[in-house]
Structure 1
Amino acid sequence: MKLLYRGPARQELHEGYAKRRRIDQDAPVVSASELRIEAPVERVWQLIADPTGWPQVLPGRRVLELDAGVAEDADFVWAMGRTVMRARFAVVDVNRELTWSAVAMGVRAIDRQVLTPTPDGATVLRIEESMAAPLIGLLFSADRLRGQHEDWLRAVKAAAEQQD
């Protein structure tokens, strides 16, 4: 029953899902969105792979700890509003994918950002995320998560396209 589904343990979530470039499709809250950005993939990558710069892209996101930088298996702590997330980078594939697993208030999540260059020099940025915890579906909907993703995508698009 998805209502009580808590998802895999944090280590399995990281190793068995995030590092294998997949989210937890069984999670009660799953969302995916994508947006075409009229900027080269390298520019989009610079924005998403610089957590300390996230607040300039979209206010309300901030990094609290990033000791080892953006590297596979490096831990970091970031916040979106008042929600603090303890995260670990799983995939750092330059200009292609940035994926991490995270835990916040008992919620186990995977966030994937996948970049696809287009033949005409633009980039398609896709976000996929899963969130699992007992009763999470009653407190946080896939539509709300999709809205957060779309806000981020629009902000990255504006920042990347503004640099021209």
Structure 2
Amino acid sequence: MFQEMRYRGPSLDELHENYAKRHQTDEAAPIRSTHEVLIDAPVERVWALLADPAGWSTFAPAIHEVHVAGDGIVAVDTRFTWINGRTKIASRFAVVEPLREITWTGSAMGSRAVHRHLLTTREDGTTLLRSEESMAGTLLGLFYDSAKLHTELTRWLDSIKTAAERS
């Protein structure tokens, strides 16, 4: 347990380049979760929601003050900042494969994370959306754990599902 609390993980740059860009989370991170949801909407609609960070607050009210660098276009290595609840997060897109995967890395309050989203079109026209996230940071486990992360991932995917199905 003590070793897990002391695990800082790789640097943010290494996490970005050698994990996220290679379609991986940090399997050694003490805080990890995976969740998936079946969405009764075409993949294009689900992608449009994920690839528009400035619009996340329309379906996920805890998210606000999203600022995407440059011209606001989501692309590999584009940086963005956002607030989730009361936590300000500095992020950077690592994978942007339209209609298939969008992944970013981020840091907040000494923690570092990889957050992947995988989209699969099913034969019946629905979309399977899978989210995987890993988090690490010294002493992060004192106030955050995998169960809390799983609750957040479930809430996030459910909000995307509701928005995509409503559109």
TM-score, scaled relative to structure 2: 0.95
Q: Is it true that 1:90 corresponds to 2:94 in the alignment?
A: yes
Aligned pair partner of 1:157 in 139, 157, 161: 161
Q: What are the Cα deviations for residues 75-126 of structure 1, in whole angstroms up to 9, with x where unaligned?
A: 1101101100110000000001110011101101010011011111000101
Contact 1:55 1:62 in 2 (8 A): yes
Equivalent residue, structure 2, for 1:99: 103
Q: Is it true that 1:126 corresponds to 2:130 in the alignment?
A: yes
The 3 A distance-change label for structure 1 pair 135 and 128 is same
Counterpart-to-counterpart distance in 2, 1:64 and 1:55? 8
Equivalent residue, structure 2, for 1:71: 75
The 3 A distance-change label for structure 1 pair 63 and 70 is farther
For the residue of structure 1 that corresponds to 2:120, the secondary structure is strand
Offset of residue 62 of structure 1: 2.0
Aligned pair partner of 1:22 in 14, 21, 24: 24
Root mean square deviation, CA, Å: 0.9
Aligned pair partner of 1:34 in 24, 33, 36: 36
Offset of residue 60 of structure 1: 1.2
Counterpart-to-counterpart distance in 2, 1:79 and 1:21? 25
Offset of residue 7 of structure 1: 0.4
Counterpart-to-counterpart distance in 2, 1:64 and 1:33? 24
Aligned pair partner of 1:48 in 29, 47, 50: 50
More displaced, 61-70 or 28-37? Answer: 61-70
Q: What are the Cα deviations for residues 60-83 of structure 1, in whole angstroms up to 9, with x where unaligned?
A: 112432123211001110110110
Q: Structure 1: which 5+ runs fail to align?
A: none
For the residue of structure 2 that corresponds to 1:146, the secondary structure is helix
Q: How many residues align?
A: 163
Contact 2:105 2:113 in 1 (8 A): yes
Counterpart-to-counterpart distance in 1, 2:165 and 2:47? 13
Offset of residue 149 of structure 1: 0.7
Match for 1:106: what amino acid? G
Offset of residue 12 of structure 1: 0.3
Q: Structure 2: which 5+ runs fail to align?
A: none
Counterpart-to-counterpart distance in 2, 1:58 and 1:9? 29
Counterpart-to-counterpart distance in 1, 2:100 and 2:161? 16
For the residue of structure 1 that corresponds to 2:161, the secondary structure is helix
Equivalent residue, structure 2, for 1:142: 146
Which runs of structure 1 show a deviation greater than 3 angstroms over 4 or more consecutive aligned residues? none
